[in-house]
Amino acid sequence: MTPEEQRFLLVGAGLFVLGAIGFVTRRNLILMVLSAELMLHGVSLTLVTFGRMHQTNEGQAFTIFTLTVAACEAGLALSLVLSLYRKSHSLDIRLWSELRESDMSGPALDSSGDRGKLSSYEDIPTLTPAGIVPQNPPRAAAAENVPTSNRI
């Protein structure tokens, strides 16, 4: 193995590890999709390097299939992200548990057996359309708006 091949394998492994860390640590769906793409590109670089090491074209052929899968994954993920955003106006991954069909007969039972909302959206950040002031200001900003007579 030449030093050049070692560098290519090291870069491929680094891309894969950075993608895996990003996928595990992020809650934003778009960043998770980008991290998965980063992992696939790390695998592609490794396949091409192994193909070059063994002097075959199999690495390039597998890379074409990997890039095809990455393109399909990106299109499917984008459609899922758009549907989640239309439903909840947030891209937080915790909202996937609250997606269900609109024609289902009422909300599901929660852990206590009550029918009702399973969780609240209060702790999940939402996006505000451009040019509109948010209706619920952050707690820090709300504390600044308290009259001076009520401050301690």
CATH number, position 14? 1.10.287.3510
Separation CA 81–CA 52 (nearest Å)? 37
81 within some domain: yes
Cα 49 from Cα 5, distance rounded (Å): 6
Q: Answer for the pair 1, 53: CB distance below 8 angstroms, yes or no.
A: yes
The predicted pLDDT at position 27 comes to 80
Task: Quote the CA–CA distance of 72 and 74 in Å, as a whole number.
Answer: 5
- Quick check: is 28 in a domain? yes
pLDDT score for 144: 57
Residue numbers in the chain where pLDDT is lower than 70: 97-129, 134, 136-152
Parent domain of 91: 3-97
For tokens 């299109």, the residue is 75
SS (H, E, C) 45-83: HHHHHHHHHCCCCHHHHHHHHHHHHHHHHHHHHHHHHHH
For residue 145, give the amino acid letter: N
Q: Is residue 141 part of a domain?
A: no
Q: How far apart are the first and last CA of the chain?
A: 70
Per-residue pLDDT, 111? 54
pLDDT given at position 102: 59
Question: Do the domain assignments include residue 82?
Answer: yes
Q: How many domains are contained in the chain?
A: 1
pLDDT given at position 115: 46
For residue 109, the model assigns a pLDDT of 47
